[in-house]
A and B are shown apart, each in its own frame.
Chain A
Amino acid sequence: MANLDYAYRRLVNVLGPERVARAEYDRMVYSHDFASLPKPALIQWRLYPDFVAIPQTTEEVSRLVRLSDETDLPITPRGGGTGLFGGSVPNRGGVLLDLRKMNKILALDPNDRTITVEAGATWHDVEEYALAKGFSLPVVPADAPASTIGGAINSGSVGFGSMRHGSLRDSVVDLEVVLPDGSVIRTGPGLDGSGAFANLTPLFFGAEGTLGIVTKAVLSVLPKPEESKAVAFCFDRPEAGVRFLREIVDAGLSPYHASFLDREHFAFERALRRESPEPAHTVLVSLQGPKDEVAAEEKSLDTVGSSLKAERLGADVASDLWARRHTMYGARRLSRGLVVSHNLVPVDRLEEAVEAAAGLIRRLKLNGAIHAALVDASTASLAPYVLMDDTRPSGGTALGFVKKMGDAALALGGHPMGLGMLMVFNLRRMHGRATGAMGSVKHVFDPKRKINGGKTIEVWTKFNWPLINTIPPGAMAAGLNLAAFLRRIKPTRDRFVRAYGRTGGA
């Protein structure tokens, strides 16, 4: 490995001193993503990058990637840092590329109905731009205000709109990617489908930045809907709320979005915002489309709701819930951290999955809430979250919940979402014998493991010596199982706020 001072000089040559950072505080910001990692993680990983580089063009990204051949420093690309499992956090230091300055919206083509954007633009900004021009994005990730275009593509996100318009993957028409050899490639067949036999876009969707660095994306857009309306229902029992989601599918309805939020979520919200709705098991549905279709679907929802004894909430409550749809994890302010377990489960087993999540929260003596949403007619996302305090020794044990929740999703025919650095042990459990083929993908694109190495298909440690340079997936799983066990034998339940206790939370 080249001398770090030399590497710094070379980086400055490419970007100038103002866009290369090496001060400790600058680097510290990039040593974690949305998830809180317990301090012992520093024993096995170098989470602080050696340098933070802020490129502004594809050409600069390409030069930085080529430079790593010279400096031998690993590269970690990063967008908004909204991931949960360390996918955008270094494991052996190196150069972290913060792509958020590549945030231009380059073109909106009303004829082809596409928008071309740089990868560092946030979904929120792109959506606002499209709406201003009379178009809308088919699918928008849940963390749109901070999530970047490249970040959501790399994490294989699901989002609002997929129930009506198909998956986020299907709305990505083309990508510009800097490959590990520094070359730039367009991955898609183009809108015309002229290269349909050679479409690499799906490989980069969910690749967690391990195959190359996405620098631009062409996304499809739709004409702005004539009408948008949010409706909300509350239920006595969580099973009835979840059943409501299943009935939406069985009735053949195609809302823009439909999600279930349990009572605990609103108890947390109430503790933070007095004006939050009364805690209750709630289903929030967003309808979009022509006025008459929206009205007809609303009527159908009322019929389904009344059959399940649902109480329809006021229009102002529903609108407020919809307006706050991107701020799901305000409860983080109640503790000093929060862990989310993202899973996909079959719609027909969503009731069991919600029950499993509630049972786990209870058994592991956590404070948590459950959020579920329809992704498509067969898939639902289940994203329970639990509060944790990572400044306490027992805080990190909450990660055991994520492991156990993933196990439950797998047992129900679904799977946990996200591998990153922390959840790689799930790869073989999810893909079985196809895991080898996943390894082949990385080998073909990045044989030298330059870009975001040691993630997704394997877990590197910070050490570069044989035997201790990787962590066997089983060891990670065992560690998290131990964390879950420690939670289970913990004598007391977590309680982060009195207000939460007063509202009758778990």
Chain B
Amino acid sequence: MHDVGFLRDWTFIEEATRVPALAEMVREALVRAVFVRDDRALTREIVETLSRPPAVTVKVKDDGEIRKLVQVVNGEEGASTLGLRAEDFHYFRTALGVGRDREIGLIPRPRTLLTYDWLVPEQRGLQIDFGGYADIEFAERAHRAVAQVGATWKQLYDRALEAGHYAPFVPTVPLDFALGDALWGDAPFASYQWEFHFFVQALRTISSYGHRTRIGFEAVSNHGSGYDLLHAVLPLADEFFIPVAIALRLAPKPAARKTLTYSFDDGAKLVAALDNLSRSGRAVDWIQVADAVAAPMLRPGMAAEAFTAQVMVGGSVSRVTAMEKALDGLLAGFKSKASDVPNPYDGPADAYRKTAERVARGVFVGEVRLPVRALAELQAALKAYAEQTAAKAGLIASARASGTVSAFPVFESARERPRIYELSRGVQQIAKKIPGSVFVSRLSHLWRDDLDYVRRVDLLRRLKLEIDAAHVVQPLVRL
């Protein structure tokens, strides 16, 4: 899960709780009022702040244009810079109080959002559309790629296979995400063994002074090279820098790949099977689980059992054969198995887009992370909750080698913010009751106020203010 202006939203909520007129409101009520825009509960200043969406969207084609934009908002364009470096000019301008009198920031525009966008908009700033900035370069002798942030995951996946590589991570919920959506949106990329950040070796960015700044190393991992800024800021990268390209670690294209589809008529059997697999030491590429409600979104027209688990295995022909045999044993308890059911990811781009459009009709509120053994319990609780609230609920999940599951509840419901808020609360309540389970979303992060967590976010916020001293990259909004 990644952010959409999380530090800005968090800082805003923190400060709003200190506004005397709102001091009586509990944090959660304030978050709700801001999220659903309950203007009656908010002060006039807050309502004004929430009513200032970005004024301009700029479609960029190369990073030189972004550097130019940064210079504009920094006041370097249209003012005499006296030949100073950007950092010195910024100091000079702020020290003398000349130039802009209001923070104007830049914010990347997500291509596809799984959940919802910001609470506090970029205050009449510039929104950058990276749709036209979508080139992908593959290394010649190595399994690496540098993808511009506007490139879609599907483009990377298909072109990597054509070039003899393999992108082992997939979006658990197959929407038509751009790769940049993993940096400033909430694209849930992961593989069976690793989270998305494992595959990211470096970010090409533009700093708040307009410099091209590389975070990490494009060809190797960044171990032992000082503070690991890359992985520390990755979930919030767009609030520290403007990422323009991602250097990704890929894998060699396997000689053979096979999608195996196992159907289970009972949740208990499914979780026992997945737990068994996670303890076996065997690594598959990915496992996607869907319940009877979600499965038709992924594979329309097919009869769905209570649960369907699709597993991708790859490697040499003999490895795939051996793995299939091993999986049949490890996933014992399945009702039926098929090896001819297409997976959502490998079809042509048009088919993927159609699947994505179908899946996007559902309402997603975030991710529930839980031990695999509790997956069936989550699904049952969601079903019960859906019956109470007159919404239909399903589940798409990816299993991990660590014995955990990332589950994404999906609702057939109106896409309205009050409804999304209510569903988010509902899922959080369910997650609270399941031991070892937790609801991860931007709202859940804003609800949290335990001391350790608040200190960590505060340290990150201070780091942002140091790195983005020019207040260009999604500047924090002051009340």
A interface list, Cβ under 8 A from B: 111-113, 155-158, 165-170, 183, 185-187, 190-200, 202-203, 205-208, 211, 220, 222-223, 225-226, 249-252, 254, 288-290, 292-293, 296, 300, 342, 344-349, 375-379, 413-415, 417-419, 427, 430-434, 436-438, 440-445, 456-457
Contact = CB atoms under 8 A, between A and B. Distances in A.
A430 B226 contact: yes
B198 A167 contact: yes
Interface in B221-237: 221-232, 235-236
B440 A193 contact: yes
Contact of B228 (A169, A194, A252, A376): A169
A113 B436 CA distance: 12
Contact of A434 (B198, B229, B444): B229
Contacts of B442: 197
B426 interface: no
A198 B213 contact: no
A445 B455 CA distance: 12
A196 B224 contact: no
Contact of A196 (B1, B370, B437): B1
A492 to B, nearest CB: 34
B228 A205 contact: yes
Interface string B290-332: 0000000000000000000000001110110010001000000
B221 A376 contact: yes
B252 A413 contact: no
Contact of A156 (B143, B225, B452): B225
A200 B224 contact: no
Given A185-B455, A430-B225, A195 B254 contact: no
A413 B448 contact: no
Nearest to A432: B214
Contact of A113 (B402, B439, B457): B402
A168 B457 CA distance: 24
B213 A206 contact: no
Contact of A252 (B207, B231, B316, B459): B316
B452 A186 contact: yes
A199 B228 CA distance: 12
Contacts of A442: 227
A252 B224 contact: no
Nearest to B330: A290
B163 interface: no
A417 B438 CA distance: 37
A335 B229 CA distance: 39
Nearest to B144: A378
A369 B314 CA distance: 37
A250 B143 CA distance: 8
A348 B140 CA distance: 9
Dominant secondary structure at the B interface: mixed
Contacts of B319: 293, 296
B143 A155 contact: no
Given A252-B252, A433-B212, A170 B194 contact: yes
A417 B217 CA distance: 12
B405 to A, nearest CB: 12
B225 A431 contact: yes
Nearest to B280: A290
14 contacts: A156-B224, A156-B225, A158-B223, A193-B1, A195-B453, A206-B225, A290-B281, A290-B282, A290-B326, A344-B223, A419-B225, A431-B214, A437-B213, A440-B463
A438 B195 CA distance: 24
B459 A194 contact: no
B322 A296 contact: yes
Contacts of B193: 165-166
A378 B281 contact: no
A207 B307 CA distance: 45
Q: Which of B227, B229, B326, B448 has the most chain A CB atoms inside 10 A of its CB?
A: B227
A199 B226 contact: no
Nearest to A164: B283
B44 interface: no
A292 B315 contact: no
Contacts of A427: 226
Contacts of B212: 433
Nearest to A183: B455
B249 A378 contact: yes
Contacts of B282: 289-290, 293
A441 B229 contact: yes
B318 to A, nearest CB: 6
B47 interface: no
Given A112-B436, A200-B459, A443-B466, 13 more contacts: A156-B222, A158-B224, A169-B231, A193-B440, A194-B369, A197-B445, A200-B456, A290-B282, A292-B326, A377-B251, A378-B221, A444-B462, A444-B466
Contacts of A377: 143, 249-252
A486 B398 CA distance: 59
Contacts of A157: 223-224
A296 B321 CA distance: 11
A433 B315 contact: no
Contacts of B370: 192
B227 A203 contact: yes
B227 A197 contact: no
Given A169-B223, A252-B251, A195 B445 contact: yes
A344 B221 contact: yes
A443 B464 CA distance: 12
B228 A415 contact: no
A427 B229 CA distance: 13
A61 B222 CA distance: 29
B139 interface: yes
A84 B81 CA distance: 45
Contact of B220 (A220, A292, A345): A345
Nearest to A456: B226
A271 B194 CA distance: 43
Contacts of B143: 249, 377-378
A414 B220 CA distance: 6
A347 B222 CA distance: 14
B33 interface: no
A415 B232 contact: no
Given A205-B228, A431-B225, A195 B213 contact: no
A186 B456 CA distance: 8
B467 interface: yes
Nearest to B202: A434
B316 A211 contact: no
Chain A to chain B: the 10 pairs with minimum beta-carbon distance, closest first: A417-B224, A202-B231, A440-B466, A348-B142, A192-B438, A413-B219, A346-B219, A198-B456, A202-B228, A156-B224
B223 A156 contact: yes
B353 to A, nearest CB: 28
B440 A222 contact: no
A336 B225 CA distance: 28
A461 B201 CA distance: 34
A344 B224 contact: yes
Contacts of A206: 222-228
Contacts of B279: 223
